[in-house]
Structure 1
């Protein structure tokens, strides 16, 4: 992997951690996710209309992926309502590749090298330490089911997005329509299931944050997809997981979240485990 690609992937990792961090500003994290979703739909539409329409067979994948992304956002937003960025993000982000690796091994979907099994073990240990910190540091235990639910959705959309983009024949256009579908589905369902004025009372600066988050969200995904066309996918995927470390640092430096030795160690183990499973 060349230096320019490496820096691009690190930038994508930072952008992914950044848009998660933007959800932490202000009050309701649910409202922040709804606003982000509407802005994602706007960004996605602008991109999708500039690209050729996907193949007909791809639209069922857009619909399926939009539903999966709904649950991903639902669980993630509720997790952030209960816990810190530096606690939730590593659990949600680190558990997903472990799930994919275990399923691949159980159903022989891919050949897992011995180093990959070591990585699964290291990942599991890091996640266990990170989850244990919830109990030992007196944090809300309610974050755990939501964080793990987000991880399940992430593992699922990894599959649906990969297959959908291949069927569509144009990854950029597919991602654009996915942002439209997923953004509107989550935004509308959550808006109409909440009290009247749920969105309209949001300050203008919060919409600015949502717009920045939507741009960061698309940028992170687009850069990663581009990098995977220029360098080995496994290396790009492993490098991208440095987002976990970025999230921990942002939580500590920007939000003043408590940084303990066990939390830092757990985050390091999760990153190391992800890298080992993808080499």
Structure 2
């Protein structure tokens, strides 16, 4: 893996943690997540006439990813309303590396070397260690934990579809931007339909949260494009563990911004994540 791909995945991780922390600190985190996605889609809706749409070969993958993204976003919104960020965020991210490692081996023809397995395993262990609920967790926290696990499984499949779609679309920068715009519009349209069915008021949500949602949308777009670029340039099984070291940033931001306590085992987890990422880079 080149340094450019490694750094792109790492910066994407930091930005991804940033917009999630921003959403979690709002009074109703699920509304902030929905508002952030709506602002992102609005930007892409304006941009599409100028940047165009991805190649037709990418659309089946776009549609599959959109269905997964709607389910992921809804599960994430519910998890954020029920449990601390340090738990939910790390559970979601813990599931992605092994899932993409397997999918990369099965569908992208990547080899499973010992160092790759070791680096990925250390990152996954660190994420599970960081987010595992402690004693005395409420029923709400446990339901949030389960919802976060579901979100992680679904978004892993969405990532695999996005990676395949972006590569089929051409893999160059414009193709990635076109794919990302179309993916955001399809996913948000589906999520908007679900939200209206649940009698949410999207316009009112944006009015209440317009400032954090605008900042969050900027972070989300930058994170998504950097991740997609890294996945089209590097092996899926290697990029995933680096990108999911967002626990480093999510955990520290939860401590600094949300005042969530970091336990000793969570500091150990952060150290393991760093070690795992370094092993992946060496590989």
* TM-score of Structure 1 vs Structure 2, range by shorter chain: 0.7 to 0.9
Distance 1:220 1:145 in 2: 25
Q: Secondary structure at the match of 1:136?
A: coil
**Structure 1 residues 53 and 250, CA gap change in structure 2 (3 angstroms):** same
- Return the offset for 1:200: 4.4
Match of 1:42 in 2: 42
Paired residues for 1:56-75 under 5 Å? 56-75=56-75
Match of 1:142 in 2: 143
Distance 1:5 1:160 in 2: 20
Q: Which moved more, 1:101-110 or 1:120-129?
A: 101-110
Task: Output one character per residue of 1:80-137: Cα deviation in whole Å (capped at 9) or x when no partner.
Answer: 11222222212211221122224556889532111233234434533442354x1326
What's the TM-score once normalised by structure 2's chain length? 0.83
Q: Secondary structure at the match of 1:141?
A: helix
Task: Output one character per residue of 1:48-73: Cα deviation in whole Å (capped at 9) or x when no partner.
Answer: 32223322232222221111111111
What is the Cα-based RMSD across aligned positions, in Å? 3.0
- Return the offset for 1:272: 3.9
For the 8 Å contact 2:119–2:241, the answer to whether it is kept is no
Q: Secondary structure at the match of 1:82?
A: coil
- Return the offset for 1:249: 0.8
What's the TM-score once normalised by structure 1's chain length? 0.84
Q: Secondary structure at the match of 1:27?
A: coil
Match of 1:126 in 2: 126
Match of 1:257 in 2: 260
Task: Output one character per residue of 1:201-234: Cα deviation in whole Å (capped at 9) or x when no partner.
Answer: 4373512211221121111122344456778877
Q: Where do 5+ consecutive residues of structure 2 fail to align?
A: none
For the 8 Å contact 1:72–1:153, the answer to whether it is kept is yes
**Structure 1 residues 264 and 78, CA gap change in structure 2 (3 angstroms):** farther
**Structure 1 residues 6 and 162, CA gap change in structure 2 (3 angstroms):** closer
Distance 1:5 1:104 in 2: 17
Q: Secondary structure at the match of 1:95?
A: helix
Match of 2:78 in 1: 78
Q: Where do 5+ consecutive residues of structure 1 fail to align?
A: none
- Return the offset for 1:256: 0.4
**Structure 1 residues 18 and 234, CA gap change in structure 2 (3 angstroms):** same
